[in-house]
A and B are shown apart, each in its own frame.
Chain A
Amino acid sequence: MRAGRAISTLILYELRRAVARRRIILLVALIFLAEAGLYLVLTRLPATLTAQIQGYAWIIGVLVPSTLLVHVLALTIGASAFSEEYEMGTADFWLTKPLTRLEYFIGKTAGSIAFTALIVTTYTSLALALSTWIFGPQQRLDLVAPTTLHTIYSALAFLFIGLAAGELLRRSMFATIIAALGFFASLITEFYISIVTFFTPDQALADAARLLPTWGATRLTSTYIQSQLPMLALIPTLGTAPTPAFVETWQAALNIALYTAAFCAAALIRLARSDVTRRAL
């Protein structure tokens, strides 16, 4: 019972901490601005272009942040979750309370996930509201909840990569930079492979691209939507043999699960086995 209460105390604290951080608020504002800007652009397009997508405009508002911004947000949240406590000297406060390091880890991590989920839910709601307001009634709203869950799940990979970087380096800015470098390096590599495989079909190279952390994270939501709405061609296929969308969804989910588990374990081992760093005076 006590462990559950301690974890919920930490989750609430983590939500308050995220809201109090300028870096995070800036990113959240950027997501909402991108969302609003996207719909503004859509209203400027010729009606002949938007006529076919009007009923599904909410999907565009969900997919655009889900492919890039949400991962940058997640890695930023993750990178500071533990490292900032060391920097501020507040790790001592938490770890000298009746709380195991595992409970501390669970509470902080759950709080980070909860905040990410809150942002994803909010921008999905914003996408729904804006698309209904601009383009009228939207279709396939039964997909809103599962799409939101897929996006939250897809954010886990880079949230945990950031979290592990933060726990290993114990410097929030440094950890954010390293995790962001990892994200963009993976994204660029994936893009490069897609170009190469487009011109010289190479299944081995295409398969190798599936091992990159961005491969699962950036496409889970879109492959899921594509599996439900096959008429929407959302994703350019990699390699020679296009994979069915539902298979790709599972592969992406597996990719995310593996990265999440590996970096979660790295962070937890580091936290459990090492000394609590003192604040640099």
Chain B
Amino acid sequence: MAGWFIEVVDLYKRYRDGVTVGPISLSAGRGQIYGFVGPNGSGKTTTIRCMLGLQRPSGGHVSIAGLDPTTQPKELMRMVGYSQELPSFPPFLTGRDVVRVAAELKGLSGEELRREVARVLDLTGIVSHANRKVGGYSKGMLQRLSVAQALVGDPEILILDEPMLGVDPAARFQMREIFLELRRSGKTILFSTHELLELERVADRVGVIYRGKVAVEGDVGELLSQGPRVIRVEAEVMRPQLVNPALLESLEGVSRVSIEGSIIRVEFDGVDGREALSEALVRSGAGLLRLETVNKTLEELFMEVVRRHAGG
């Protein structure tokens, strides 16, 4: 366990109404992007707020860069940039004011402050709206502003709660590029999201939280390649009318066959039947053009977790 940059051990939070989140354990290395995924109400935000010292855990331990958020919040916040879920800023301030206030609180002043404010506004693409009052911002612009103020002062760690929520595809692409660039420069990012595709594109490690507990955690690559799994194969043929679906279904381990135009999708459950499928398609005379394996996705992994827990 030693060596983790962000480490949460058996963290739990008991609310007055009896609802308990956790115990949750997660860990991320320095310079990694950690994706935190789970359905609404699963405890992601509670965990993040405990990590930031906004809420006091009822038990367990949090360590970020060796600092405890409960006893060393000020030292920790010098290293952390945070963007909250459904960001909210004083409506009478402009976007530039918000970023400037964040920069002042990070200890910047004078020319350095002005440069930093201009840098993050430009980086997050809100410079053209920076002089407008925040009260008139759209959801997407608020998200960008939230990420902008989190980036102020070039923090070592970024903790972002649903940063992609309400963001248009162009901004999403831009944010993804920012995250990847930050990782290249050695920053550590922990973010929660519902956007599994985004997570798969950028995350090094992932934690799937379900009903207040981390159900699965690990490196993305490892998680997607391990265990009894579904192998999904996609083939393209010249003459799909010659393909006999019943024949494909009879192959060993096949759990699902679908044909859409010239594309044939076959799922094998725990068996690597790619060789047999290729042979069957060649023999049918359909004219195999290509055959490739479609990797298991995080979405499938997530649904596996949900099914496993829902089924008891």
Do chains A and B interact in one complex? yes
A residues neighboring B (CB under 8 Å): 2, 5-6, 9, 13, 16-17, 20, 88-90, 92-101, 275-276, 278-279, 281
Stretch of B73-81, B165-173, B259-267 at the chain-chain interface: B73-81
Since A6-B104, A13-B90, A20-B90 are in contact, a sample of 13 more A-B pairs with Cβ atoms closer than 8 Å, ordered by chain A residue number, is A9-B104, A17-B92, A89-B86, A92-B54, A94-B105, A96-B52, A97-B77, A98-B105, A98-B107, A275-B49, A275-B54, A276-B49, A278-B45
Neighbouring A residues of B78 by C-beta, 8 Å: 98
22 contacts between A and B (CB under 8 A): A9-B101, A13-B101, A16-B92, A16-B93, A17-B92, A20-B92, A88-B88, A88-B90, A92-B54, A92-B82, A93-B88, A95-B54, A96-B54, A96-B82, A97-B102, A97-B106, A98-B75, A98-B77, A101-B73, A275-B54, A276-B55, A278-B49
Cβ of B20 < 8 Å from any Cβ of A?
no
- Is A5 a contact of B74 with CB atoms below 8 Å? no
Given A276-B49, A279-B88: A6 and B54 interface contact (C-beta under 8 Å) = no
- Is B90 a contact of A90 with CB atoms below 8 Å? yes
- Is B104 a contact of A96 with CB atoms below 8 Å? no
- Is A93 a contact of B89 with CB atoms below 8 Å? yes
Neighbouring B residues of A89 by C-beta, 8 Å: 84, 86-88
Cβ of B278 < 8 Å from any Cβ of A?
no
Partner of A100, one of B73, B80, B91, B107: B73
Neighbouring A residues of B77 by C-beta, 8 Å: 96-99
Neighbouring A residues of B89 by C-beta, 8 Å: 90, 93
- Is B106 a contact of A93 with CB atoms below 8 Å? no
B residues neighboring A (CB under 8 Å): 45, 49, 52-56, 73-75, 77-78, 80, 82, 84, 86-93, 98, 101-102, 104-107, 109, 149
- Is A275 a contact of B55 with CB atoms below 8 Å? yes
**Distance to closest chain B CB from A12 (angstroms):** 9
Bound: A20/B93 CA distance, A: 10
- Is A17 a contact of B105 with CB atoms below 8 Å? no
**Distance to closest chain A CB from B102 (angstroms):** 7
Partner of A93, one of B84, B92, B107: B84
- Is B86 a contact of A281 with CB atoms below 8 Å? yes
Partner of A9, one of B49, B92, B105: B105
Partner of A276, one of B54, B107, B149: B54
Bound: A100/B89 CA distance, A: 20
Q: Which 5 A-B pairs have the closest CB atoms?
A: A89-B88, A20-B92, A97-B105, A275-B55, A96-B82
Neighbouring A residues of B109 by C-beta, 8 Å: 5
Neighbouring B residues of A2 by C-beta, 8 Å: 107
Neighbouring B residues of A98 by C-beta, 8 Å: 74-75, 77-78, 105-107
Bound: A64/B77 CA distance, A: 47
Nearest residue (CB) in B for A16 is B92
Bound: A278/B41 CA distance, A: 14
Neighbouring B residues of A94 by C-beta, 8 Å: 105
Bound: A90/B101 CA distance, A: 13
**Distance to closest chain B CB from A150 (angstroms):** 32
Bound: A100/B69 CA distance, A: 11
Bound: A186/B90 CA distance, A: 34
Bound: A100/B74 CA distance, A: 6
Nearest residue (CB) in A for B134 is A90
- Is B101 a contact of A96 with CB atoms below 8 Å? no
Neighbouring B residues of A92 by C-beta, 8 Å: 54, 82, 84, 88
Bound: A243/B268 CA distance, A: 96
Neighbouring A residues of B102 by C-beta, 8 Å: 93, 97
